[in-house]
Amino acid sequence: AAYVNVPVYRAFHEWMGRSDVLGEHWERWDAGDRAASLDAMPDTVVDDLLVHGSPDECRTHIDRYVAAGITTPVLSIVPLAGVDVDDAIRDLAPGRNR
């Protein structure tokens, strides 16, 4: 969530027309209330920006990019508690049995 507050990224999201959905988040962030700003981050923005979920859900999302013409999806695995990055890479590999 912090990235959407960096001036260049904030300007990008404004340009993308996300001011209405991110306005409350930005107001709380600018007021210094980081916890409240995170609460105000809309799920729709997260869904628009990140591939997240179970391995099956992530592969389905990535498959939509490929179906739309992306020939080389590039992934950046975010290490979260309880998630082994090596396992995540294997789980998301092309041709992985579902």
Q: Where are the domains of the chain?
A: 2-47, 54-92
Q: Compare 34 and 1 and report the one with higher pLDDT.
A: 34
Give residue 12's pLDDT. Answer: 96
Q: Does pLDDT of 95 surpass 90?
A: no
Instruction: Name the 3-class secondary structure at 85.
Output: helix
- What confidence tens digit (pLDDT) does each residue in 7-33 have? 999 999 999 999 999 999 999 999 999
Instruction: Name the 3-class secondary structure at 95.
Output: coil
The secondary structure element, H or E, covering residue 7 is: helix 7-15
- What confidence tens digit (pLDDT) does each residue in 29-78 have? 999 999 999 999 999 999 989 999 988 999 999 999 999 999 999 999 98
Please list, residue by residue across 60-87, b when 16 or more beta carbons sit within 10 angstroms of its beta carbon and e when fewer do: eebeeeeeeeeeeeeeeeeeeeeeeeee
